[in-house]
Homo-oligomer: A and B are copies of this chain.
Amino acid sequence: MAADLVLSLKNDPAEIARLAPLVDAFCARHGLAEATAAQFNLVLDEAITNIISYAYEDAGEHEISVRISLTRGALTAELVDDGREFDPLQVTPPDLAAPLAERSVGGLGVHLMRRLMDDISYRREGARNHLVLAKRIA
C-alpha cells in the first residue's frame, strides 16, 4: 500500500512550520532517518518560501499544493503553484568562494535545494508551476 501525504497550503509563511511535523511523521512511519526528514523539510521550506515571496503578482490568497510520496526508492515532493512561470534550475549558482565583503546575501535557497536533493525537475502545465523534488533513499 502506498500512502501519500497531500497538503494544501495558503501563501502564508507560517504554513511552513505547520507542514514540518507532518513530514517528520510521514518519514518516521516509513522508517526514514530523522536527518532525511530534516533535509527534506528544509528544501520544502526554501521552495515554498520562494513561491510565497516571488511568485505572485497580486496580494491575494493563493493555494500551494504539496504531495509527498515514497516510491521506487525515493522520497518525492511535488509542489504545484499558480504563480508566474519560474524554473529554479535556471538560477545561477552563488559564488561560495567569494570573500565576506563580496558575498551576495541571497541566492542560497535554490543552492540548498540542489545540494540536498538528488533530482529536481520543473515543468509548466497550463497556468501552474510543477516542481518535483526527489531524494533517493538508501
Contacts and interface: CB of A to CB of B under 8 A. Distances in A.
B7 A6 contact: no
Contacts of A15: 1
B6 A4 contact: yes
A-side interface size class: 10 to 19
Interface of A: 1-10, 15, 18-19, 22, 25, 67
A99 to B, nearest CB: 41
Interchain residue pairs A-B with the least CB separation, the first 8: A4-B6, A2-B8, A6-B6, A3-B7, A1-B18, A1-B9, A1-B15, A3-B22
For this chain, the copies found in one complex come to 2
Contacts of A67: 6
A66 B35 CA distance: 30
Contact of A1 (B2, B3, B19, B25): B19
A42 to B, nearest CB: 18
Nearest to A22: B3
6 contacts: A1-B7, A1-B10, A1-B15, A1-B18, A1-B19, A3-B8
